[in-house]
Homo-oligomer: A and B are copies of this chain.
Amino acid sequence: MPALDESAGPVLDLLLETPLVRDKAGASLQRQLHQRIRGAILDGRLPSGCRLPGSRTLATALGVSRNSVTAVFELLGAEGYIALSRQGTRVSTLTQSASRAHDGAASRRAAAPAIAERAVRVRESTPGAGQDLPFRPGVPALARFPLSAWKNCLDRAVRRTGTAGLWYGDPQGEPALRTAIMRHLAVARGVRCAPEHIVITEGAQEALSLCVRLVTNPGDKAWIEEPGYRGARTAMLCGDLDIIPMRVDDNGLRIPEQAWATHTPRLIYTSPSHQYPTGAVLTAARRLDLIGNAQRYGAWIIEDDYDSEYRHSGELVGAMQGLVPNAQVLYVGTFSKTLFPSLRLGFLVLPEILAPQAAPLLKEALRGGHRYEQLALAEFIESGQFSRHLGRMRRLYKRRQDALRAALTQYLDVPHVVAGGDSGMHLTIRLPADCVDVRIAEAARAFDMAPMPLSRFASCPLPEDNGLVLGYGNTSESSFVPLIRRLAMLIRADRGAVKR
């Protein structure tokens, strides 16, 4: 340990009396430090006016980052326990209220973390960026979007509706749009529902949050796919659920038989038609098993059908929702992939049995809105423009996927397995253990590519989760050869780096 500021000695001794407990989440160290300093101030061991050691000194002594110490100081400053100035950090003169706070319940509260536990836990993950870069998964071919046709629908909706479209509207969304979605889903996905079971949401993410709010209580067990969609994990984290990752294999979500009894879930998240990100299709036997067991054990299933409109091979896989009458399936869809992300229109199809029970919460918590956009979308669907756009995009994505596969075969001269691609806009490649996907993805960003490391979709990545998720929706066919040659070079370089 390096030499410490002499004068800080006694204060440091006090704060170092017992070591900080280290767990996975680094932020809990901050909480402990905050609690410890505040406790010492409140019980008078650190008297008013006492100078605290500098953040650098304290960080070194405690073995935490300087940022952590600074954050704790800022929090204590905001709470009025310490005063930060250029002359250093000193304990404030506590007011009567603050001293009183030390007695009873208030001191326990004062020691609690300043932000929600879930906000601390979400820190562990690092979201990707670079929406407009090649390979970024989940981005459709935006340059090919018929913006002027869409704009015409929007203009007509404004003209036809006038100022009547300025109201909040129906909390579940425009009835015309719900009817259009119902018709489309029945034909395209075999989903059975009535317009009153549909809730228009702020993209799929709000639909997932709504599922969590409607059918779970804090602490309930929720099964998610591993590796799986990060947004689902976030929605469940925000609902304070006990998240249990379940491995995915080539046949989709694999549930160990005993898990139903030992880790009985309240909610199960799955993307059965094209598992995100592995691309596996959940087999019929597993679908039936999942539905049957969910009914027996009182669990609800979220079926996220995010990209199945773009089926590229094999027979059409219908939605789980329509497989069995009255299945406890909450069906989630989005127009982010079929139209464009910034539209923020998604939807949730409630099971018939849940719809009446959900109605009061929906009425109180939702506000409707975006009526011109919703009416424009209803027209876009009913006029057939939506289906034609889907057809064009399906053919485009098929060509792009073929071009990507050809480039991978020819130029990725590292052992790898290509997974997925039966539908959607991405392929997943699994890489050998002697390269590190996170590092490769980072290196790729320097060359303006945004593949996502496969391991980042898993809570506890296994060796098979080492790979890259390659979105091809927004990249022109001719770009794949130079892009994959560069990517192959980066992968080779990374393997070399490990061996050295």
A→B interface (CB under 8 Å): 71, 74-75, 77-80, 95, 97-98, 100-101, 103-106, 109-110, 112, 114-120, 122-123, 125, 127, 131-132, 139, 142-143, 145, 147, 151, 158, 162-169, 202-203, 205-206, 209, 213-219, 230-231, 234-235, 238, 240, 260-262, 264, 266, 292-293, 295-298, 326, 328, 336, 340-344, 351, 353-354, 356-358, 360-361, 363-372
Task: Give the dominant DSSP class at A's interface.
Answer: helix
Report whether B214 and A342 are in contact in the complex, using a CB–CB cutoff of 8 Å.
Answer: no
Report whether B344 and A297 are in contact in the complex, using a CB–CB cutoff of 8 Å.
Answer: no
Chain B residues with CB under 8 A of A118 = 213, 217, 361
Q: Identify A215's interface contact among B105, B114, B213, CB under 8 A.
A: B114
Report whether A112 and B240 are in contact in the complex, using a CB–CB cutoff of 8 Å.
Answer: no
Report whether A266 and B112 are in contact in the complex, using a CB–CB cutoff of 8 Å.
Answer: yes
State the Cβ distance, A399 to closest chain B Cβ, in Å.
Answer: 20
Q: Give the most central of A127, A167, A235, A364: most B CB within 10 Å.
A: A364
Q: Identify A106's interface contact among B165, B218, B261, B326, CB under 8 A.
A: B261
Task: Write the chain B residue with the least CB distance to A294.
Answer: B79
Task: Write the chain B residue with the least CB distance to A221.
Answer: B109
Report whether A264 and B109 are in contact in the complex, using a CB–CB cutoff of 8 Å.
Answer: yes
Task: Write the chain B residue with the least CB distance to A132.
Answer: B167
Task: Write the chain B residue with the least CB distance to A218.
Answer: B218
State the Cβ distance, A145 to closest chain B Cβ, in Å.
Answer: 6
Task: Write the chain B residue with the least CB distance to A128.
Answer: B363
Chain B residues with CB under 8 A of A371 = 342
Report whether B119 and A230 are in contact in the complex, using a CB–CB cutoff of 8 Å.
Answer: no
Report whether B218 and A367 are in contact in the complex, using a CB–CB cutoff of 8 Å.
Answer: no
Chain B residues with CB under 8 A of A110 = 264, 296-298
Report whether B293 and A365 are in contact in the complex, using a CB–CB cutoff of 8 Å.
Answer: no
Complex Cα distance, B29 from A333, in Å, reads 34
State the Cβ distance, A326 to closest chain B Cβ, in Å.
Answer: 5
Report whether A105 and B264 are in contact in the complex, using a CB–CB cutoff of 8 Å.
Answer: yes
Complex Cα distance, B328 from A366, in Å, reads 27
Q: Identify A360's interface contact among B122, B214, B231, CB under 8 A.
A: B122
Report whether B168 and A260 are in contact in the complex, using a CB–CB cutoff of 8 Å.
Answer: no
Q: Which 3 A-B pairs have the closest CB atoms?
A: A344-B369, A166-B340, A218-B218
State the Cβ distance, A389 to closest chain B Cβ, in Å.
Answer: 13
Q: Identify A298's interface contact among B79, B168, B169, B336, CB under 8 A.
A: B79
Chain B residues with CB under 8 A of A214 = 115-116, 119
Q: Identify A240's interface contact among B167, B240, B360, CB under 8 A.
A: B240
Chain B residues with CB under 8 A of A370 = 342-344, 370
Chain B residues with CB under 8 A of A234 = 364-365
State the Cβ distance, A134 to closest chain B Cβ, in Å.
Answer: 14
Report whether A297 and B342 are in contact in the complex, using a CB–CB cutoff of 8 Å.
Answer: no
Chain B residues with CB under 8 A of A344 = 367, 369-370
Q: Identify A368's interface contact among B215, B296, B342, CB under 8 A.
A: B342
Chain B residues with CB under 8 A of A163 = 142-143, 145, 147
Report whether A357 and B119 are in contact in the complex, using a CB–CB cutoff of 8 Å.
Answer: yes
Q: Identify A357's interface contact among B109, B115, B142, B364, CB under 8 A.
A: B115
Report whether B116 and A216 are in contact in the complex, using a CB–CB cutoff of 8 Å.
Answer: yes
Complex Cα distance, B74 from A412, in Å, reads 56
Complex Cα distance, B369 from A174, in Å, reads 19
State the Cβ distance, A141 to closest chain B Cβ, in Å.
Answer: 10
State the Cβ distance, A345 to closest chain B Cβ, in Å.
Answer: 9
Chain B residues with CB under 8 A of A143 = 163
Given A166-B142, A167-B142, A115 contacting B354 (CB threshold 8 A): yes
State the Cβ distance, A92 to closest chain B Cβ, in Å.
Answer: 11
Q: Give the most central of A115, A125, A143, A368: most B CB within 10 Å.
A: A115
Report whether A109 and B298 are in contact in the complex, using a CB–CB cutoff of 8 Å.
Answer: yes
Q: Identify A261's interface contact among B100, B158, B365, CB under 8 A.
A: B100
Report whether B363 and A341 are in contact in the complex, using a CB–CB cutoff of 8 Å.
Answer: no
Task: Write the chain B residue with the least CB distance to A78.
Answer: B353
Report whether A360 and B215 are in contact in the complex, using a CB–CB cutoff of 8 Å.
Answer: no
State the Cβ distance, A336 to closest chain B Cβ, in Å.
Answer: 8
Complex Cα distance, B161 from A340, in Å, reads 14
Report whether A78 and B295 are in contact in the complex, using a CB–CB cutoff of 8 Å.
Answer: yes
Complex Cα distance, B117 from A100, in Å, reads 36
Complex Cα distance, B258 from A101, in Å, reads 10
State the Cβ distance, A480 to closest chain B Cβ, in Å.
Answer: 21
Complex Cα distance, B261 from A145, in Å, reads 58
Chain B residues with CB under 8 A of A105 = 261-262, 264
